[in-house]
Chain A
């Protein structure tokens, strides 16, 4: 697990309106980071800095040691893959297969290698049966998977997903979370920009809360997503399990530590009620 991206006191404005007011954070490989906050907090602006689409007015962004102001977007994109929120903004080819090949070609892969990677990637994302179809004939969930597949295909070290679960059904959300785990196991860094607290609770290792262009809280997922006050300031809601724990707390049922997921709540309650699960029938 090493440092992939260093954001150092970045300031940025759009036409005089400040969007980022001194943001600093670290992105590591082998870790899933969730950047969260309401719409307009600056999350998308921030991640655009990771591939150099935007350059900071003050401060700097280092991607694997390279200052983004000294490199082109294409160079940075080789190491940091960015998947935008709406798949329809990023499907450029005539066929599903062509989409992946287009990306691989741009990233400098020779044709034969590109073809092999394309086949295995499409299989992995369960899109191989649509190989020759137009990307626009796919359902919204499939188009989203295709956009992600195209970016994953060239094996960037960090993958950034902007609102991966917005408008997605349960089936696709599960697929995406499985993919994120897989990438993490492979040692990649994954950044998800989201306001879906439940999804973040499931997949994130660390969480950064943003509001009005600043980072207002940062830490382990378990600590941040159970911090009602910080979430409120970021205009987010507590996920269901910490919210339940908060209600129980208010009613006098104090759990030993703050649970984030159903399994943890279950174990905490067991402990509280002094039933060691191995002794129970």
Chain B
């Protein structure tokens, strides 16, 4: 089922001369891990905020075009309704974890929806178990590492059981291992629960291994949209090629590798070995 449907969406923030989104059309379904990239100012953060209605409800401006999320019209649906379908995780853990324990944090969104205390408690128990947070359930967010904080943030929005997860540079402040853990968690949710994930990320080397689709934005438009390999070939100049791709380009010129487009170290290594059948034990 098409979870997200954007048709010719244009948006200009109040008081701004230029369009942050300038005729964006795309559709997305369950079980996709969409990597959303582009230079700063290209509109990717704005696009994410259309998904949960922050644009145009929280950020005023001129909104044109059609935006449907989980069958709901974004323009006429309040953000708290959309929050049940789109979980948004932000870059800075400090500004999205408000309460004094992990347990309370997970309960917060459920409380807000007006669920009974009994129901909230039940769901919190489930979420703590599912995300392996039982051992730290009493800890305050500031006592956790950056990676753990982001995991709690993800668990807290997933408690509302949204079909879509929107992450705005979730690993920007994290070290590489924590970043990998967070992205792995998102990937698990996509694969096991069919969540549709939109991930805005600059660190391609980490995120490419999980992406099923990549969208490059430039000046408020979609410049490329498709499988990560084709998109990188097309738009690599704008977003940067991961080192393995650069190595591949060099090696290909001398005929030392085949035509595949490696996104990870494993893929590059495989290309090298496969071409020359150098498998010795």
Contacts and interface: CB of A to CB of B under 8 A. Distances in A.
Query: Is there a contact between chains A and B in the complex with CB atoms less than 8 Å apart?
Result: yes
Interface of A: 37-40, 139-141, 166-174, 195-198, 201, 235-237, 239-241, 243-244, 247-248, 251-253, 261-263, 265-266, 269-270, 273, 275, 277, 280
B273 A253 contact: yes
Interface in B215-266: 238-240, 242-244, 246-247, 250-251, 254, 256, 264-266
B5 to A, nearest CB: 28
Given A40-B145, A171-B39, A252-B279, A240 B265 contact: yes
Contacts of B202: 167-170
A139 B20 CA distance: 13
A247 to B, nearest CB: 4
Contacts of A239: 243
Given A38-B177, A275-B256, 20 more contacts: A37-B175, A39-B146, A40-B145, A141-B41, A169-B39, A169-B40, A170-B238, A173-B240, A195-B175, A196-B176, A198-B243, A237-B177, A240-B243, A240-B244, A241-B243, A241-B244, A251-B278, A269-B272, A270-B256, A273-B276
Given A167-B202, A247-B265, A270-B254, A237 B244 contact: no
Contact of B265 (A174, A244, A266, A275): A244
A244 B247 contact: yes
B158 to A, nearest CB: 24
A203 to B, nearest CB: 14
Interface stretch (B100-108, B166-174, B191-199): B166-174
B40 A141 contact: yes
B143 interface: no
Interface of B: 38-41, 91, 145-146, 169, 172-178, 180, 202-203, 205, 238-240, 242-244, 246-247, 250-251, 254, 256, 264-266, 268-269, 272-273, 276, 278-281
A198 B205 contact: yes
Contacts of B40: 139-141, 168-169, 172
A275 B253 CA distance: 13
Contacts of A275: 254, 256
Contacts of A237: 176-177, 180
A261 B243 contact: yes
A135 to B, nearest CB: 15
Contact of A262 (B91, B177, B246, B281): B246
